[in-house]
Structure 1
Amino acid sequence: MVSDIDSSEGAPLMSGSITNVVLVHGGFVDGSGWARLYHLLTADGFRVSVVQHPTISLAGDVAATREVLDAQDGPTILVGHSYGGVVVSESGTHDKVAALVYVAAFAPDKGESVNTLIADPPPGAPVPPILPPVNGFLFLDRDKFHASFAGDLPADEAAFMADSQLPWGVDALGGAVTEPAWRSKPSYYLVATDDRMIPPPAQRAMAQRAGAQVVEVPGSHSVYVSRPEAVAELIKKAAQAG
């Protein structure tokens, strides 16, 4: 099911809703990008935890996420952006995870990794400006970061993100999912319709395969930064359904 999301007014947190949310960032960035979403959710009564995983290997990032999940005091909504979708797909089988929310994210099936999902891009899709690996790590071309990753953010904010990139380990891109959580947990997916990192058609295909409830929002790959209210509304929907 695909729908537009009206985020002009935040829906109040309903009695009985899930209140724990764990946020998992993607590649090239860290957990600080969730700040606006964090403040929106906590103002509405959610208890929000942000995973600061190193993006060196999928196994390490899953372990870091599971440690945060272990600390939750009840059912939890697990949210992943970009590569974070791989992490939540693998770690979301944790017994405290009630639902998954993918934000312009990879949603791999069993045996799939970022590498396999990007191996056959749709015809005409933009090519992310990823530089050749250095010592096993990847960066985005700083001069092309704004246009490719954060096109709907102010230039100075995009420049900061480009200059504060978290090196993305080549091993993390090759990490394959063993048992995707979306096969056993409800899932929700926010498609960023102006994304130039993960093509929107690929996002829609992954969401459909996962049986996710889908919303589409105009936004770049940094939609979690530029449109935090839309992400918050989808998380609230997942929390209320749980």
Structure 2
Amino acid sequence: MTPPLAVLVHGLWHGAWCWDDVRSALSARGVDSVAVDLPLTDLATDTAAVRAALDAAGRPAVLVGHSYGGAVVTAAGVHPLVRELVYLAAFQLDDGESVSRTRLGDLPDTRLGEAMVVSGDEVGLDAVLGPRLLYGDAPAEVTAAATARLRPVGRQVFRGVPEAVAWRTVPSTYVVCTADEVVHPERQRAMAGRATRSVEWACGHSPLATRPDAVAELVAERVAAVDAEPGQPGAAPSG
């Protein structure tokens, strides 16, 4: 029987390319993966892109979201093929929340707002502060390569509210990045309280670039756990 795969969902200003190192590490562990390229126009369109990827894969999946990608997997995770959610420094939103408005109490902010540059209906990043916040703990060459590929996003993505809240019915794992300068670690910890389980890593906002093996190891672990569940494809029979 075909085992589950990992479906990977990136954050704002990025593309499917940011998962390349993680996908290589997953492949080395025998785990198939798909990285979705989000339009980054609005949450509903991004959610539809992930649902289409799940339909095309046609296999049980662990759905992984980084940063804004957490809002997307929260909505898309009600897809019948999704078996588990993984949030990496991500927005594990509740009903009526958006990435710009959560009901988590009075929590500290980062300098992300200062780094955003609005031009018409698009939001980009300051060329100096943006990469510093996203990749502050990455080697200079990694930061430079990633920065060259960043793109503006639609203003609507910041106001999108998930049309479903998958973590209420689907198990979830949250990774808090304790040196994050984009999504404050205290905000992450508050959202992690909604997850089935959580762990903390001493890293900045982009473990996909700085700790791809650790990300792959965690995702592979969750894929294996799903695969071992009774009744799942590839699971050993119970009894």
- Fold match (TM-score > 0.5): yes
In the alignment, which residue of structure 2 is the partner of 1:13? none
Q: 1:153 to 1:225 in 2, by over 3 A?
A: same
Counterpart of 2:197, as a letter, is Q
Contact 1:69 1:96 in 2 (8 A): yes
Counterpart of 2:221, as a letter, is K
Secondary structure of the structure 1 residue equivalent to 2:116? coil
How far residue 31 of structure 1 moved from its aligned partner, in angstroms, is 1.1
Contact 2:2 2:59 in 1 (8 A): no
Cα distance in 2 for residues equivalent to 1:171 and 1:145: 19
In the alignment, which residue of structure 2 is the partner of 1:11? none
Secondary structure of the structure 1 residue equivalent to 2:111? coil
Secondary structure of the structure 1 residue equivalent to 2:39? coil
In the alignment, which residue of structure 2 is the partner of 1:193? 178
Cα distance in 1 for residues equivalent to 2:103 and 2:95: 15
Q: 1:132 to 1:63 in 2, by over 3 A?
A: same
| 1:94-109 correspondence to structure 2 within 5 Å | 94-109=79-94
In the alignment, which residue of structure 1 is the partner of 2:235? none
Q: Name the Cα RMSD after superposition.
A: 1.9
Counterpart of 2:64, as a letter, is V
* 1:76-97, Cα deviation, whole Å (9 max, x unpaired): 0000000000000000100000
Q: 1:233 to 1:26 in 2, by over 3 A?
A: same
Cα distance in 1 for residues equivalent to 2:219 and 2:21: 14
* 1:34-76, Cα deviation, whole Å (9 max, x unpaired): 0110001112111111100111111110111111000123210
Cα distance in 2 for residues equivalent to 1:212 and 1:162: 34
Contact 2:41 2:154 in 1 (8 A): yes
2:146 to 148, 155, 161: 161
2:119 to 134, 139, 149: 134
Counterpart of 2:30, as a letter, is G
Counterpart of 1:26, as a letter, is G
Identity, % of aligned positions = 37
| 1:63-82 correspondence to structure 2 within 5 Å | 63-82=48-67
Cα distance in 1 for residues equivalent to 2:145 and 2:103: 26
| 1:153-232 correspondence to structure 2 within 5 Å | 153-208=138-193, 210-232=194-216
Which consecutive residues of structure 1, in runs of 5 or more, have no partner in the other structure? 1-15
TM-score by length of 1: 0.87
How far residue 217 of structure 1 moved from its aligned partner, in angstroms, is 1.0
Which consecutive residues of structure 2, in runs of 5 or more, have no partner in the other structure? 227-239
Q: 1:44 to 1:19 in 2, by over 3 A?
A: farther
Cα distance in 2 for residues equivalent to 1:212 and 1:230: 20
TM-score by length of 2: 0.88
1:35 aligns with 2:25: no
What is the number of residues matched between the two proteins? 225
| 1:21-60 correspondence to structure 2 within 5 Å | 21-60=6-45
* 1:167-190, Cα deviation, whole Å (9 max, x unpaired): 121101111012210000000111
Counterpart of 1:25, as a letter, is H
In the alignment, which residue of structure 2 is the partner of 1:3? none
Contact 1:193 1:217 in 2 (8 A): yes
